[in-house]
Amino acid sequence: MQKISVRIAQQEDLNAIHELVGELAIYEKAENEFVATLEMYRKDFADGVFEAIVAETGGEIVGMALYYLSYSTWKGKMLFLEDFVVRQSYRRRGIGDLLFDEVVSIAKAKGCRLLKWQVLDWNKPALGFYAKKNATIEKNWWNGKIIF
């Protein structure tokens, strides 16, 4: 297996990041809900709305984690991990560990008191992954949203 490197994403990585999110939407059976365009990604990335890291091997981006700063009124500064995905054909090679551990390091370096994300209740591989990371998976909070 070729060496995997993890690095901060750049503008030129957004096409691969967008494709990976599309793969995730398919996996989560929500392909029709994925309506954010590559142009939206480019503008929002340039405006600092979100940041990302990518996992790369042989010049190919095979995974990514997309995150942004948020705030918890109970804990303080927080990093929200919006999406975290590894290409299907590259799973079970430790790439998820590399990406997740780097996001944890980034959160700590930014002075965050909390790292938060969502996981679908039926996604057993993800739930198992987070359990190995000693994460708390809350089951008593419901998500609310308004789509414009």
What positions carry a catalytic annotation?
130
Within 13 Å and on the Cβ side, how many CA atoms surround 50?
Answer: 21
Q: Which DSSP state fits 126? A: H
Give the strands of the sheet with 51-57, arranged side by side: 5-8, 51-57, 60-72, 76-86, 114-117
Q: Strand 60-72 to strand 51-57: parallel, antiparallel, or no bridges (unpaired)?
A: antiparallel
Query: From start to end of the chain, where are the E strands?
Result: 5-8, 51-57, 60-72, 76-86, 114-117
Main-chain phi, psi angles of 4, to 5 degrees: -105, 130
CA–CA gap between residue 16 and residue 19 (Å, rounded): 5
